[in-house]
Structure 1
Amino acid sequence: MEGNHFKETYEFLADDPDFSVKPVMFSLIIGAFFAILNETLLNIALTTLMGVFDINPSTVQWMVTGFMLIMGILIPVSAFMLQTFTTRQMFLGTMTVFTLGTIICALAPTFTVLLAGRLIQAVGTGLLIPIIFNTFLLIFPPARRGAVMGMIGLVIMFAPAIGPTLSGIIVEHLGWRYLFITVIPFALFSILFAYKYLRNVGEVTKPKADIFSIILSTAGFGGIVLGFSFAGEGEAGFLEPKVYSFILVGVAALIIFTRRQLKLEDPLLDLRVFKYPMYSIALVMFIIVMMSMFSSEIILPMFMQGPLALTAATAGLILLPGALLNGLMSPIMGKLFDKFGPRKLIIPAAAVLTATMFSLSQVSENTSIYVIIISYMLLMLSVSAIMMPAQTNGLNQLPKRLYPHGTAIMNTLQPVSGAIGVSVFISIMTARQEAELQQMGNPASEEALTQATVAGVELVYFVAFAVALAGLVLSLFIKRARPADVSEDSAS
């Protein structure tokens, strides 16, 4: 049976004794886990794919860049789709698309077919996360959302954390195709389980599609993701014509897109969410946390495999405790958020994040691996205490009609922040390395390369420290959000 299952006597379905929450949560979470796991499952196999298909690094990189591009294009449209289709239609449709893409990848005879399957996977993954956020916002009242969002955080963080380790084992013992083959049965189970147990929540309003807004959104977010992704490929970085051309087109399209959304009666993305201060603060904190995470997930492995002369496997194991801690702490932080509110979590965590970034800006070739392990664990612990509590608090302030738009905007920023974070920090490190090497008498020597890399890493983390410090100042303005629906009802 399709349609809205809200009862008039219950504002949230979790309060309805006749509504079984667990099957719905299980349906959504198991699908999300394997879709998100898929994001990092392939990263460690890129070198293997280069050998199998006889392609170069810039070509194989499209397995990552293309994935982020599709997500950046599709997630903004998710708000419109969530109001056009029922929960069951959206979830079953996206998981079916994801499974189809996975099967194509498993059977791919050429790299072109493999890339096509990967992009189809991205369609399913990009739409799945907004579905989950929006559904849980509608099911659970604000007082219980912290713990629920913490469970989502466990999935979002734990799946990528074990991805590289799991990928290495599968590729070494079974072959790269099993990266996809092993996911297929779980994806099919998620579809069958959801078909039987998943119920519809929310209201299907079927807003009118504004084609021009969709075109502008695609050009805007797609152009920025492409531009920043290309920045790491050429020697000129951001001075490459195709880099700044895509970025300029993207920025221009987003400016026109923003002006149009403010005039439309039914906007593709309702930017009135920024009228709610806790949501706006949460969004900035989310970006800061994402930038801090990317500065470490990209730069630290380079530092460990360069100046510290560690193997890739060892570097991955050093980062694993922090990544696992982040995932395991997310549900706990969610429950603490429900009990104590956002300030007692976010402000101390922002201070720890700032101190950790400063500590990492003092690294050298003599830095102990234990310092790296502890620093990364502190970083990821602070991230778990900031990201989901800030997101939950920000979304709590929105009225129900803006839930799809609030979740769509937040989730759009994940691939966009990822592309920007990677290229900006790599560019900063590379520029500092080159400047240091030019001042050395023997720039080709191993000692010179080590010193230049250390200098580049130090500058990256000093910039990350400045960004984190801004986040600490911003966290002082956070307070527990009161649902706007309640405020509006009280005012009336």
Structure 2
Amino acid sequence: MTLGIVEPKTESQPPGTYFLVDTSQTSAEHPYEHSNFKHGKGKKNNIILIPQPSDDPNDPLLWPTWKREAAFAFLFFNCIIFAACPGPMIAPATVALAIQLAVPIKSVAQLSGYQLLIVGALGPFVSVLARKYGKRPQFLFACLFGVIGTGICIAGFDQSNLTKSYDVLLAGRMVQGLGTTAFESLSVAAIGDMFFLHERGLRTALLVLTLACLSSFVAIIGGTTFEHMGARTLFVILLPIQIFGALGVFFFLPESQYRRVSDVAPITSSSSTVKEKDSANAVTEDAEFNGVEPTATVPKRSFVQDLRVTSGVYSEENLFKLLGEIFLHLGNPAVIWVQLVSAVLVSFFVGTAYTLAQIFSPPPYNLTVSQNGYFFTGALVGGILGVSAGPICDFTARTLARRNKGVYEAEFRIPVCLFAVVVFAAGWFTFSWALDHPSKERVVLCAFCYGAVCFGTSVASTSGGLYILDAFKRHSTEIFILQMMIKNFVFYAFSTFINDYAAKEGPGHMCKVFGIVTLCGFTTCVPMYVFGKVNRVWVHRVWKSYAGEKRL
């Protein structure tokens, strides 16, 4: 057992186990890795690069720093305007918009609910297309539909009667959903394409900030804008920003998918001769498993060539077979775990947002639309503080790897969830108490508690996302698609009943239930940490066997 992780009975190295930290002590035990594998630069020169970059100048890991950072910047920006903005921008105005459109509050909640239903349903198809044709086409099409959807929403407020206005607005929101899926599901996997393991923590945390927490900032702006300028203006402001983001994707986000032969710097035995042989075997086996040949030397693509919509076919598999393979990952216990800690539990945070205007608009709170928006300040602060989960995850990984003689295990990402458990408990149960004892003076306390929940959400999502990215990199796109799909289906489900449930049982009871289920759910982190490596070996064997059967 290594630092509490059960060692599987196998001599092969599973994905997610890497030689990461190279020190004077470990260099003597692993001289082959010390001298033959590429390391980081400057202060990171003791870090072995994972994945090991190829010699191909078009390898995304070898892009110039400006190119990688520009690609990430627009990925981050578009996650905000296409994935984070559309849903919560009308949340503070739920009650006011229901009055304006002459529909029940539940119908306004479903403007976001149906949008999320589209996002979830489209997920598997985006995954298949990304796996076969690359991620860039999916991002470009997402931008196109996002812009069109916002235009339809603007037109919805110009209709001759309220019923037609609602129907057009609903259609526009659903088209916006077509523009959300790719950015919500492929972005974290794209980080794994462009950045090394030790560079992923902060960037993953920033994407989690956009998808889980910057919605709070959108709600703050949305509440004030609605109150002073009307709902139509929200979409009028969003449209040119989305057009700018779409242009940024076209010019600065090239295809990041790459036919990589080997992700792993193998952990070798003590004999130099055996080391070299084992290393060669590891690369050969890896190439066979991927079904690709080692990359030949090719000329570096120009800026204009990078503007191509597609860069060829990345998989020769049938589209329907690829579609079916997505759901095979539900047999992986790690995938079930990440659905729980980073999808279902996150949905409680978002589901609560559907009810906030309903809770705080009536007495004794009497909040206006803009004040309902300002309530999300707590969540915004919590989300920003949650970005710290990324550097903490990286620090924990390096520290535990040093204690493990330089060997990194993907499970080293999981202990950070301890922070999430403590903050979730404080947030949900204090929130429940405050709502059961309503007074206008407790609005600030409620906002603080909601911010604590947001912080916990950020930490859990970052930890879970990094674990999947490190442990199952080759399958990360499909796994993140499943996570996004399930999460959005749960979001939609909440939109159909959560307002009635909060009104019937009381918002305090709702928060108490969310808190209990959350704490129970996080107990699964313990077996996931202890038996995670055994599971990785089993999953690796199953997929190798499946890949072998497909070749016969």
TM-score by length of 1: 0.72
Alignment of 1:317-336 (within 5 A): 319-336=375-392
CA distance in 2, matches of 1:322, 1:408: 29
Number of the residue aligned with 2:319:
209
Structure 1 pair 141/314, CA: closer, same or farther in 2 (3 Å)? Answer: same
**428 and 166 in structure 1: CA distance in 2 versus 1, 3 angstrom threshold:** closer
| 49-58 or 319-328: bigger deviation | 49-58
SS at match of 2:256: coil
2:204 and 2:466 in contact (8 A); partners too: yes
Distance in 1 (CA, whole Å) between partners of 2:497 and 2:111 is 20
Cα pair 2:428 2:515 within 8 Å, conserved: yes
CA spacing shift, 1:479–1:73, aligned 2, 3 Å: same
1:359 aligned partner:
430
Which residue of 488, 493, 500 corresponds with 1:415? 488
- Decide which of 79, 95, 98 is 1:32's aligned counterpart: 79
Aligned counterparts of 2:357 and 2:96: Cα–Cα separation in 1: 19
Kindly provide the amino acid, as one letter, of the partner of residue 389 in structure 1: S
Which residue number corresponds to residue 138 of structure 2? 90
Shift of 1:397: 1.4
> AA paired with 1:97?
F
- 2:453 maps to a residue whose letter is L
Q: Is the 2:220–2:374 contact (alpha carbons within 8 Å) kept by the matching residues of 1?
A: no
Distance 1:475 1:418 in 2: 23
User: What letter matches 1:101 in structure 2?
Assistant: G
Partner of 1:309, secondary structure, is coil
| Change over 3 Å in CA distance of 1:12–1:382 after alignment to 2 | farther
Map 1:29-428 to 2 at 5 A: 29-35=76-82, 36-45=84-93, 57=105, 60-108=108-156, 109-110=158-159, 111=165, 112-202=167-257, 204-205=314-315, 207-210=317-320, 265-294=321-350, 296-299=352-355, 301-306=357-362, 308-313=364-369, 316=372, 319-340=375-396, 341-363=412-434, 364-365=436-437, 368-400=442-474, 402-423=475-496, 425-426=498-499, 428=501
Distance 1:29 1:104, change over 3 A: same
Q: Would the aligned equivalents of 2:90 and 2:222 in 1 still touch at CA under 8 Å?
A: yes
1:350 partner amino acid: V
Letter in 2 for 1:16: L
C-alpha change, 1:461 and 1:117, in structure 2 (3 Å) is closer
Aligned to 2:322, what secondary structure does the other structure show? Answer: coil
Alignment check: 8 A CA contact 1:322 1:373 kept: yes
Residue matched to 1:435 = none
C-alpha deviations, 1:54-113, integer Å up to 9, x for none? 555565554223212211211122211212333332211210111122122223432233
Tell me by how many angstroms 1:350 deviates.
0.9
CA RMSD across the alignment: 3.4
Deviations 1:222-269 (A, max 9, x none): xxxxxxxxxxxxxxxxxxxxxxxxxxxxxxxxxxxxxxxxxxx53445
Unaligned runs of 5+ in 2: 1-51, 160-164, 259-313, 397-411, 545-552
Cα distance in 2 for partners of 1:94, 1:314 equals: 30
Report how far residue 458 of structure 1 moved: 3.5
Do the aligned partners of 1:301 and 1:315 also contact (CA within 8 Å) in 2? no
Q: Deviations over 1:343-370 (max 9, x none)?
A: 4421232133124333334343356334
473, 476, 491: which is aligned to 2:526?
476
Moved more, 10-19 or 361-370: 10-19
CA shift at 1:152, angstroms? Answer: 0.3
How far does residue 406 in structure 1 lie from its aligned partner after superposition? 0.6
| More off after superposition, 13-22 vs 37-46 | 13-22
Cα displacement string for residues 445-481 of structure 1 (whole angstroms, at most 9, x for unaligned residues)? xxxxxxxxxxx23432332232022123223334397
The equivalent of 1:459 in structure 2 is 509
CA distance in 2, matches of 1:115, 1:288: 25
Structure having greater relative contact order (Cα 8 Å, sep ≥ 6): 2
Report the 3-state secondary structure (helix = DSSP H, G, I; strand = E; otherwise coil) of the residue aligned with 2:123: helix
Q: Residues of 2 paired with 1:487 and 1:267: CA distance?
A: 19
TM-score of the superposed pair, with normalisation by structure 2: 0.65
Distance 1:104 1:274 in 2: 36
Distance 1:135 1:335 in 2: 19
Per-residue deviation, 1:405: 0.9
**Unaligned 5+ runs, structure 1:** 1-5, 211-264, 433-455
Shift of 1:49: 5.1
Q: Which has the higher helix share?
A: 1
Identity %: 15
Question: Shift in Å at residue 144 of structure 1?
Answer: 2.5
Determine if contact 1:283/1:410 at 8 Å carries over to the other structure: yes
Q: 1:9 aligns with which of 44, 55, 61?
A: 55
Q: Contact (CA 8 Å) 1:13, 1:138: kept in 2 or not?
A: no
C-alpha distance after superposition, 1:11-70 (max 9, x if no partner): 995641546211211222222211121211133455565566555556555422321221
Structure 1 residues 79, 311: closer, same or farther in 2, change over 3 A?
Answer: same
Give the ranges of 4+ consecutive aligned residues of structure 1 lying more than 6 Å apart after TM superposition.
Answer: 480-483
1:416-472 per-residue CA deviation (whole Å, 9 max, x = no partner) reads 12133455654544444xxxxxxxxxxxxxxxxxxxxxxx23432332232022123
Within a 5 Å distance, the mapping from 1:425-444 to structure 2 comes to: 425-426=498-499, 428-432=501-505
